[in-house]
Structure 1
Amino acid sequence: MTRLQTAFDAIDQANAADPHLQDGEPRELLYGQRMTAEQRALYPDASEPLQIACRGQHVERWLLPRDAYPMDRPGYLAWRTEQGRRHAARVAGIMQAAGYDPESIAHAEKMLTKQGIKRDPEVQALEDVACFTFIRWYLGPFAETRDAEELQRIVEKTARKMSPQARSIALTEFAIPEPFAAAFRA
């Protein structure tokens, strides 16, 4: 077995313990598999640290519930930052156990803590993959719980996070209705 498969198996094993189910599967296990599918479609030549960061982006996310922080914008940002730190640390341990070198591990940690979005191509690639996963699998159900104005803001924020190349692909990949599509052409 390759060290990449060893890392994937460890992430999947950790996420299989998620008590929350979606489509009959542990939610974060399914999310990691969806992230890998999007990464393979968008970035088929991705480095192993990027592949692992995609698979492990939400590793054991349920262990720190959102309501552990204040339910306001600063609370959300603090929770998200702590999740990134936790995911990076967990993935680092998995990579070390699989035999990865310190440089590869540090690069995966950088991606998972979002250090260098818009500057580091692989950090940006992880964000593009996360945005595609959100659009393909989660935006529809999410939209049902938001009013039109709030949904427009969320779609615009999602588009801004993406690289120009990913926004262009999204316009052809998804049937994005106006006025949402305008955010992807900006």
Structure 2
Amino acid sequence: MATEQFQTAIKLFDKANSQDPNREQWKGKEYPKEVLYGERMTAMLEGFESDTSEEVQLAARCQHICRWEIPRNSYEMNRTGYLKWRTELKKFHAEKAGEILDSIGYKKDIVEKVAFLLQKKQLKKNRDTQIIEDVICLVFLQFYFDPFIEKHSEEKMIDIVQKTWRKMSEKGHDAALQLSYSNKALSLVKKALGL
């Protein structure tokens, strides 16, 4: 049973994300982009791993909190710039989430654990970090893969799938193979994995 404090945190995360100037249409409704992303993360987490800690559930919901405040194009448009952007974002999300959790009286150890998860620390070694990473990858493959296909070459997309696969656990792989893909996406996944 979710506590009142947890429900307040989710509302505050969504309120912060509702300021996103970027919009996305989904099932006939318009959403601030990061509100929709947060909802997708929560739903995917529940389907993938229903028995998780409060910290994991919080980290899933605020994974992209206020992401638009640090746009990708504020860094060099190359691999180095991309990696620097991602590193800065992890710290930024951890700080933003921490401020919200602090403001409603969450204990320090919970705030620190959420920050740890948002910064993807101990990937492949820490179970909770791995759950978050698997869910991120599943949400990407389910909802954001097809728009990527329109923008990138087949070679680039195969590379993206292979890199995504390397970050996932065996359970994540199994779940990814159960997702419903467009014909084009499925063809790329199969090529990338040699299926």
| Fold in common (TM above 0.5) | yes
Tell whether the 8 Å contact from 1:131 to 1:158 is kept in structure 2 after alignment: yes
Tell whether the 8 Å contact from 1:35 to 1:130 is kept in structure 2 after alignment: yes
One-letter code aligned to 2:186: P
CA displacement 1:106-149 (0-9 Å, x = unmatched)? 11101101111000000011101100110111001111111111
Q: What residue number does 1:108 align with?
A: 114
1:49–1:65 CA distance, 2 compared to 1 (3 A): same
Alignment of 1:9-158 (within 5 A): 9-23=11-25, 24-158=30-164
One-letter code aligned to 2:114: A
Cα distance in 2 between the residues matched to 1:57 and 1:81: 13
TM-score (norm 2): 0.90
Deviation of 1:173 after TM superposition, in Å, equals 2.9
1:184–1:97 CA distance, 2 compared to 1 (3 A): farther
Cα distance in 2 between the residues matched to 1:147 and 1:140: 12
Deviation of 1:70 after TM superposition, in Å, equals 0.8
| Aligned mate of 2:189, from 173, 180, 183 | 180
The unaligned stretches of length 5 or more in structure 1 are: none
Secondary structure at the counterpart of residue 177 of structure 1: helix
Tell whether the 8 Å contact from 2:76 to 2:82 is kept in structure 1 after alignment: yes
Cα distance in 2 between the residues matched to 1:185 and 1:83: 33
Tell whether the 8 Å contact from 1:7 to 1:95 is kept in structure 2 after alignment: yes
Deviation of 1:21 after TM superposition, in Å, equals 0.5
Moved more, 91-100 or 22-31: 91-100
* Identity between Structure 1 and Structure 2 (%): 37
The unaligned stretches of length 5 or more in structure 2 are: none
Tell whether the 8 Å contact from 1:50 to 1:126 is kept in structure 2 after alignment: yes
Deviation of 1:104 after TM superposition, in Å, equals 1.1
Tell whether the 8 Å contact from 1:167 to 1:184 is kept in structure 2 after alignment: no
Deviation of 1:185 after TM superposition, in Å, equals 8.4
Tell whether the 8 Å contact from 2:122 to 2:129 is kept in structure 1 after alignment: yes
TM-score (norm 1): 0.94
Cα distance in 1 between the residues matched to 2:190 and 2:102: 42
Q: Which 4+ runs in 1 deviate beyond 6 A? A: none
